[in-house]
Structure formats: structure tokens, C-alpha cells
Amino acid sequence: MEEEAIEQEPNAEEISEEAEQTEELSTEESHQAEVTELNNRLLRVQADYDNFRRRSREEKESAAKYRSQTVIEALLPVIDNFERALLVKPETEEAKALLQGMEMVYRQFQEALKSEGVEVIETVGQTFDPHLHQAVMQVEEEGFESNQIVEELQKGYKLKDRVVRPSMVKVNA
């Protein structure tokens, strides 16, 4: 019976083999965990890079789309002055000829702006939109609905889909 009991007890070699196998398993598990962590970090870096590329592309497209905005903003007072000058009633033939030449230059100027994507914002008779219009007065007039634009005090302009300058308007109460 003693021999049977001795055979059932593990000897020192078997214990060390089991310890080595346990160590190998824990080392393998730690390597696997490290690989998983590195793989996750790689995926996050790839996603960040893709987002960066997308944002960069969108910024470039936006910059190209609105590249002329600063020039257009600088030219809006010139347009306003042209329009004021065209309202003058000429009394002499020379003044009429000068006014006719100014009208030609004004139309050419308008066409150049239109080719860049500049549009005049519609106002009179339209419903007030705070994204397009700036209300500077509120009046009560017959023939206009509530919140409808009665008069345009200064033209507003859009560059493609962006408001460059809102229209200054009178709105019916």
C-alpha cells in the first residue's frame, strides 16, 4: 500500500513541469492581452487619421468655395454707392451720357459678382427670416401680413449659401 501512495504523490519534476506550463500560459495570455491592446490602439489611430483627412478635405473645399468672400465684403460699399449714384436724375445730356456709362459699368460689375456666386437676398413682401434679414424698424402698415417685410433699407447679399451681409429691413408688426 505504501507503494501505491508513493506513486500517487507528484514528484518534484512533475511540479516544476506544471509550474513551467502555468508560466507559459500566463506569459502567452499577457502577450495576447498586449497584442489586443496594441491592435485597439492601432484602430483608434487609424480612425483619428481618417477623421483628420476628412476634416482637412472639408476645410479645403470650404476655403475654395468661399475664397472670394473678403473681396466681396470689401466691394459691397462700392455697390451701394453705385446704386445711390444711379438714383440721381440727370438734367443735361452730358449727365445722361455719364449716367448711361455708369449703368453699363454697374451691370458688368453685377455680372462679375454673379459669376462668383453672389446673390441679392430677396426682401420686400417676403416673410422676415433672422438668418437673412436684420430688422431695424417695426411698423404697422395696411396690406402687409404680420412679420412680413415692408421696405428694404439696405440690400443683403449671399455668397453661394452663406450670408455675407444681411438685408436691413422694416418689418410689419
For 123-161, write each residue's pLDDT tens digit: 988 999 999 999 999 998 888 888 999 999 999 999 988
- For position 144, what pLDDT does the model report? 86
Structure confidence at residue 1 (pLDDT):
47
- pLDDT(75) > 80: yes
pLDDT bin (cut points 50, 70, 90) of residue 8 is low
What are the φ/ψ torsions at residue 146 (nearest 5 degrees)?
-65, 140
Residue 13's pLDDT band (cuts 50, 70, 90):
low
Task: Give the Cα separation of 39 and 22 in Å (integer).
Answer: 25
pTM: 0.64
The residue-averaged pLDDT of 83-90 equals 91
Grid cell 450670408 is found at: 163
pLDDT value at residue 142: 86
